[in-house]
Structure 1
Amino acid sequence: MKLAIVVGHNARAQGAVRPDTGETEFRWNSHLAQLIEEEARLFPRITVETFFRTPAGTYRAEIERVYRATDDWGADATCELHFNSHTSRAATGTEVLSSGSEASLRFSIALQDRMLAALKLKDRGVKVRRSGRGSESLISGRAPAVLIEPFFGSSPKGQQATDEAHEKRALARAALLAAQDAFL
């Protein structure tokens, strides 16, 4: 199977910032995408390619461009990488956004289960989005799509669950195990 990893945000608009490390979503998730590609060597039935969103004038054009590229590559599924942030440092948890299609829901549920096992954070659930924030990423490509928010970068609990190299690698493996669970 071909799993497309889309790094959320872009080099110009990098998203939320982890106050503990100063890393943006774009930078942190670019590294996570690299780890997913490395870990994919242990999953011979899964081929991974990373795609980056690039500024395209409008948000919608940016999303359409990157998901057209995943379609052109022939992705069987896509996973867009993000992390949450909130003004309250008490906000915590793991969630996955799904388009609501059968395959997207299957992938989302598997991914939520695997990320919860890896990070041991509060279960914020799988959320179906057909409109509003994040929905364009879920409905712009042909392949079943998910968008992950594995932790709150603004939360000490989220920071502690993802600040060690082995924790980040476990999250990378979770994405691959979920793809295996859902599609193979």
Structure 2
Amino acid sequence: MKLAIVVGHNARAQGAVRPDTGETEFAWNSKLAGLIEDEARLFPQIKVQTFFREHCGSYRREIEAVYGKVDAWGADVSNELHFNSHSNRAATGTEVLSSGSPTSMRYAQALQNRMGEALGLKDRGVKIRRHERGSESLMSGRAPAVLIEPFFGSSPLGQAKTDEEHEQRALARSILQATQDAFL
């Protein structure tokens, strides 16, 4: 099983910022991708490779380029890493975006369940995206795709559940466990 991890955003446009640490989505999820690769040693049946989005002049070209690399690698499934943010600091929870294909939905639900167990945050559910924000990432590659939003970086509760390395490792393991649940 080949799991492609795509780090959301890019070095030039890094996404939302956690006010507690000043980390951007790109920086925080780059670290999470490394933890997923490290934790994958406990899941020898899952081969993980991380892919980074690079600024290409337009969002569409950026997405097409990274998912072209994912396809060339021969991924069985892809998971793009993000976190939510909101002006209301009380907004909290875990959600997964899916293209709506049966395989994407199966993986999305497994992720929602496992990340919920790992973080203990409100269950915001699995959401199908075909034309809205995030849908390009879900529809551009050949492999079934999901996009995760495990917590709100703007929420003190989300921050508290993800600020320690052992919590980040638990999240990384939950992603691998969900991959195992859905595909192996």
Q: SS of the counterpart of 2:66?
A: helix
The gaps in structure 1 that reach 5 residues or longer are: none
Displacement of 1:16 in angstroms is 0.2
Q: Which residue of 2 aligns with 1:133?
A: 133
For the residue of structure 1 that corresponds to 2:79, the secondary structure is: strand
Q: Which amino acid aligns with 1:155?
A: S
Unaligned runs of 5+ in 2: none
Q: Is 1:110 the equivalent of 2:110? A: yes
Partner of 1:41: 41
The Cα shift of 1:132 comes to 1.2
Please list the CA deviations of residues 79-137 of structure 1 after superposition, one character each: whole Å capped at 9, or x if unmatched.
00000000000000000000000000000000000000000000000000001100000
Deviation, structure 1 residue 24? 0.2
Q: Distance in 2 between matches of 1:9 and 1:117?
A: 26
Query: Counterpart of 1:122?
Result: 122
| Structure 1 counterpart of 2:16 | 16
1:9 partner letter: H
In structure 1, how many angstroms separate the alpha carbons of the residues matched to 2:122 and 2:44? Answer: 32
TM value normalised by structure 2:
1.00
Letter matched to residue 13 of structure 2: A
Q: For 1:123 and 1:54, how far apart are their aligned partners in 2? A: 31
For residues 128 and 82 of structure 1, the distance between their equivalents in structure 2, rounded to whole angstroms, comes to 16
**For 1:178 and 1:15, how far apart are their aligned partners in 2?**
25
- Give, as a single letter, the amino acid of the residue that structure 2 aligns with 1:165: E
Q: 2:76 maps to what in 1? A: 76
Alpha-carbon offset, residue 47 of structure 1:
0.1
CA distance in structure 2 between the aligned counterparts of 1:182 and 1:143, rounded to whole angstroms: 14
Q: Distance in 1 between matches of 2:72 and 2:11?
A: 23
Please state whether the residue corresponding to 1:96 is helix, strand or coil: strand
1:137-160: CA deviation from partner (whole Å, max 9, x where unpaired): 000000000000000000000000
> Match for 1:108: what amino acid?
A
Cα distance between partner residues in 1 of 2:105 and 2:57: 31
Amino-acid identity (%): 76
Give the distance between the partners of 1:71 and 1:179, measured in 2 at CA. Answer: 18
CA distance in 2, matches of 1:96, 1:174: 13
Distance of 1:165 and 1:41 partners within structure 2: 17
Normalising by structure 1, report the TM-score: 1.00
Amino acid paired to 1:112: Q
2: CA distance, partners of 1:127 / 1:136: 14
Rounded to whole Å, the distance in 1 between the matches of 2:87 and 2:119 is 21
Runs of 4+ in 1 over 4 A off after TM superposition: none
